[in-house]
Amino acid sequence: MAGYVSDAVIRRLPGYYRHLRELEAAGVTQISSQELGRRMQLTPSQIRQDINCFGGFGRQGYGYKVSELKGHIGDILGLDRIHRVIIVGAGNIGAAVANYPTFSREGFETQAIFDVEESKIGKTMNGVTVRHMDDLEEYLAANPADIAVLALPAGVAQDTLDRLYESGVRAVWNFAPTDLNHSDDMIVVNVHLSDSLQILSYRMAHRDQD
Amino acid sequence: MAGYVSDAVIRRLPGYYRHLRELEAAGVTQISSQELGRRMQLTPSQIRQDINCFGGFGRQGYGYKVSELKGHIGDILGLDRIHRVIIVGAGNIGAAVANYPTFSREGFETQAIFDVEESKIGKTMNGVTVRHMDDLEEYLAANPADIAVLALPAGVAQDTLDRLYESGVRAVWNFAPTDLNHSDDMIVVNVHLSDSLQILSYRMAHRDQD
C-alpha cells in the first residue's frame, strides 16, 4: 500500500469493493473511471485519485480490470485472511450477523455465539451453537477469537468488553448503543443504528434547505 | 439553526445526543466542554465550535445545561416530531428494528411490517402486524408513511424502493447491501453492515501502522 491513506479514502474502500463485486457478478471485466464514478456518485478524477492513492492501477484510456481491482482492494481491506468471530448476544441483531450472507464469503467465520438466556443455550444459528456467557473465558482460552461482535444491551456492554479484553480479544464490532472505553491496543468499530436513523431524520427536517 | 452546518458536524450530532441522553439519565445537569470533550474524544475547542455552529449555547466558564442542550440537538435532528415508519422485510434485521428500544422513544413509530413469506403474515413483532407485500400500495394509500425501512435482500431492494416511491414514500433507511438509484426528492440513508465490518478488518490489517 502506497504511503498515507486518508480516513475519507478508507471510508470509501468498502463502497469500491461492493460495486466491483456487483460488476464482477454481472460479468463486467473492465470499467472506466467515468462509469465507476457514475455508479459511485464520485467524479472520474476522484476515482482516479483514490485508486492511485492505494496503489496505482489501470492505464489511461483502458480503465480498470474489475477482478484485479476488486482483489487488490479486498487485500487492502484485510479480506485475504480468515477472521475468527464470536457473537455475544443471540437476539435479533446477533442472529442478523450470524446469518448475514456475505460475511463468511469474505472470511469472517462465526465460531461461537454467547447469551445469558437459558432458553437460547444449545440452539444453533446458521449452524453455530449458542453457549452460555459463563463459559466465555474458558471457550476463548481454548479457541482464541479475532473479532467479537457485541450485540447486547448498552447496560452490559462495558463489562462484556472488559471480559473480552481480559481473554485476549483485540477487535470489537459494537452494536450496543453506547460508546465504550477501551485500551489503545483494542480496535472498536461502532454500528450505532440510532445515529444513522437520526441522520435520516435530520435530512428530512432540513430537506427544504438542500 | 445558524446558517450552514458542515457534514462533519451533522455526523457528530447523534453522538452529542447520545452522550447528553446518558448524562441526563445519570442525573448530570451541567457539563463543561472539557468533560464533554473527554467523553466524546474531541477537544474542548472542537466541542465549543460545534455547539456554536448549531446555535450558540452555554456561557464561558459555566458549561452547558445538559437537558437544554439535549433538547436543542434533538430538535435539530428532527426528533421533536413523530415519524410514521413501515418496515419492509420481517427477517432478523426487520425484527431488530421493530424491537429497537430507543426508536419509539425518539418518535419513530412503526405502523406496519411487510414480508412475502406466508408463514410470517399475520404474526406480530413488538405489537405490529406483519402484512403481505401484495398489500403495500393499498396500505400506503390509506396510511401514508414518512420512512420505509428496507430490510430485505439486495436483489429485490431496487424494485421495492421504486414501489415505495410510487406510493409516496420519500425517505428510506436501507439495510440491503447495495446502493440504490432514487429520485432527487427521495432521501436514502444506507446502513451497509458489511462496510462497517470491512473498516474493522482494515484497521486490524493496518494495526501496526498506527
pLDDT per position as a tens digit, A166-180: 999 999 999 999 999
pLDDT at B61: 67
> Which positions in chain A touch B91 (Cβ < 8 Å)?
96
Residue B203 lies in a domain: no
Task: List the grid coordinates of A170.
Answer: 483485540
> Which positions in chain A touch B76 (Cβ < 8 Å)?
202, 205
Mean pLDDT to the nearest integer, A98-121:
95
Residues B112 and B150 reside in one and the same domain:
yes
Chain A nearest-CA distance from B148, in A, is: 11
pLDDT at A56: 62
Residues B71 and B101 reside in one and the same domain:
no
pLDDT digits (tens, 9 = 90+) for A142-153: 999 999 999 999
**Of residues A77, A66, A58, the one with CA closest to residue A13:** A77
pLDDT at A4: 66
Residues B97 and B129 reside in one and the same domain:
yes
Count up the domains in chain B and report the number: 2
For A52-199, where are the E strands, in sequence order?
A: 64-65, 83-88, 108-115, 124-125, 128-132, 147-150, 171-174, 187-190
Cα separation of the two ends of chain A: 38
Residues A60 and A102 reside in one and the same domain:
no
Chain B nearest-CA distance from A59, in A, is: 26
> Which positions in chain A touch B100 (Cβ < 8 Å)?
193-194
**Of residues A124, A130, A108, A114, the one with CA closest to residue A164:** A114
**Angle subtended at Cα A103 by Cα B90 and Cα A145, rounded to the nearest 5 degrees:** 115
Residue A59 lies in a domain: yes
Query: Residue with C-alpha cell 484485479?
Result: A68
Do B189 and A203 make contact, defined as CB atoms within 8 angstroms? yes
Q: Which residue numbers in chain B have pLDDT < 50?
A: 1-2
ipTM summary value: 0.93
What rounded mean pLDDT belongs to chain A?
A: 92
* CATH code of residue A49: 1.10.10.10
Task: List the grid coordinates of A21.
Answer: 463485486
Q: How many residues does chain B have?
A: 210
Query: Residue with C-alpha cell 481454548?
Result: A142
Q: At what angle do helices B7-25 and B33-40 cross, to 10 degrees?
A: 100
Residue B2 lies in a domain: no
Cα separation of the two ends of chain B: 38
The residue from A24, A43, A76 where one domain ends is A76
Q: Please provide residue B125's backbone torsions phi and psi, each rounded to the nearest 5 degrees.
A: -125, 115
Residues A147 and A69 reside in one and the same domain:
no
Give CA B133 to chain center in angstroms. Answer: 24
Task: Tell me how far apart the alpha carbons of residues A13 and A20 are, in angstroms, rounded to a whole number.
Answer: 11
Mean pLDDT to the nearest integer, A6-17:
91
Do A200 and B171 make contact, defined as CB atoms within 8 angstroms? yes
Residues B92 and B119 reside in one and the same domain:
yes
Residues B102 and B191 reside in one and the same domain:
yes
Residues B52 and B90 reside in one and the same domain:
no
pLDDT at B1: 46
Task: List the grid coordinates of B77.
Answer: 435532528
Chain B nearest-CA distance from A170, in A, is: 9
Instruction: Give the DSSP letter string of B31-56.
Output: E-HHHHHHHHT--HHHHHHHHHHTT-
With a cut of 50, say whether residue A199 has pLDDT above it: yes
Nearest CA in chain B to A105: B194
Do B198 and A79 make contact, defined as CB atoms within 8 angstroms? yes
pLDDT at A113: 98
